Amino acid sequence: MSKRIVHYINQFFAGIGGEEKADIKPEVREGVVGPGMALNAALGQEAEIVATIICGDSYFNENLEEAKATVLAMIKAHKPDLFIAGPAFNAGRYGVACGTIANAVQEELKIPVLTGMYIENPGADMFKKHVYIIETGNSAAAMRTAVPAMSKFALKLLKDEAIGAPKEEGYIARGIRRNYFAEDRGSKRAVDMLLKKIKGEEFETEYPMPDFDRVEPNAAVVDITKAKIALVTSGGIVPKHNPDRIESSSASKYGKYDISGFMELTDADHETAHGGYDPVYANMDPDRVLPVDVLRDLEKEGKIGELHKYFYTTVGNGTSVGNSKAYAAQFAKELRNDGVQAVILTST
């Protein structure tokens, strides 16, 4: 008898719609839907997806406890041997939803769980220590490599086989270290690595250190009362109707907009394009995310020199570190050329 699996996906992968359908409530369908078809095929005769649970990304993240309870009840009703969520790739809200429900299933239903994400997905950082997350590519284009990796790992979990190191199995490192007997003692392994390093040969450390991207701070502004200050935000504030169509998640662009004629931002002229937080209060008063009103007051009081005529904006939700660095490198040159001496960077 094949093992039973319940699969969780969002509204996009269910073929229901994109952002305009992100508020749909949880629903359950018997059998496979969307990427579940490929997963089911890859699992072969040993396991079967018996039900698929679908939930909109916005609904899940904005109604966390209610959505979690509803989805858990749906999963429990199908008595699965394993739960799979995603893969979410680099979709931030989807990743957080997959991680949240997988962790809840593991804790509440006491069955093995599995999901898949791009390493820079916010959900991966939040849940990698709690659940197995198969590392995937950045977008759904990587589905053909994600499905075999996830199905292979799923079968290992179902058979209760020993799980190897992250590099062997393809999951994101969880920060767990296990003792093992090595053929060579530590001093010899250390010398071997040192010799390889001296010779310029490749080697792999046994104790990788965290890779922190440290940026040296600039010198303090000498006289802030004469400085030109710019506003930059990852909170997604854009002119009304988002003219450049900056994506609500995994942004592929940033915007540059003129605020020289604004003493404040209002719901009549600006809004947020961000899909990773409740937009209601930001849309009611965009100054809550991009404080043009406060900077105008400081400008009027002579506490700063002037507010730069342009602000730069993008969406931080699921946007990769690589893209973020590229955007900053581009507009930082413009800011310097425009004589900006300091930047206030706001988030959500």
Question: For position 45, which CATH number holds?
Answer: 3.40.50.2300
pLDDT tens column, 3-57? 999 999 999 999 999 888 889 999 999 999 999 999 999 999 999 999 999 999 9
Say if residue 259 is in the same domain as residue 136. no
Non-local (6+) Cβ contacts of 274 within 8 A are: 235, 236, 248, 282, 315, 316, 317, 348
Q: Residue 265 CA to chain centroid, in angstroms? A: 29
Residue 294 lies in a domain: yes
Separation CA 282–CA 63 (nearest Å) = 18
Three-state SS at 288: helix
pLDDT tens column, 235-265? 999 999 999 999 887 788 899 999 999 999 9
Three-state SS at 271: strand
Say if residue 258 is in the same domain as residue 122. no
Separation CA 227–CA 221 (nearest Å) = 8
Residue 153 lies in a domain: yes
Number of domains in the chain: 2
Say if residue 162 is in the same domain as residue 273. no
* Cα pseudo-dihedral 71, 73, 78, 82, rounded to 10: 60
Say if residue 143 is in the same domain as residue 238. no
pLDDT tens column, 132-163? 999 999 888 999 999 999 999 999 999 999 89
Please give the pLDDT value at position 210: 66
The token pair that represents 314 in the structure block: 């993008």
pLDDT tens column, 74-86? 999 999 999 999 9
Question: DSSP of 121-177, one letter per residue?
Answer: SHHHHHHTTTS-EEE--SSGGGHHHHHHHHHHHHHHHHTTPPP--HHHH-BPP-S--
Please give the pLDDT value at position 293: 97
Tell me the pLDDT band of 307, cut-offs 50, 70 and 90. Answer: very high
Please give the pLDDT value at position 277: 85
Say if residue 21 is in the same domain as residue 101. yes
Instruction: Show the domain range for 38.
Output: 3-169
Residue 65 lies in a domain: yes
In sequence order, which ranges of the chain are alpha helices (DSSP H)?
Answer: 36-43, 57-62, 64-77, 92-108, 122-127, 143-158, 166-169, 186-199, 280-284, 292-300, 321-337
Tell me the whole-structure pTM to 2 decimals. 0.64
Residue 214 lies in a domain: no
Say if residue 155 is in the same domain as residue 241. no
Beta strand pairing call for 82-89 and 47-55: unpaired
Residue 266 lies in a domain: yes
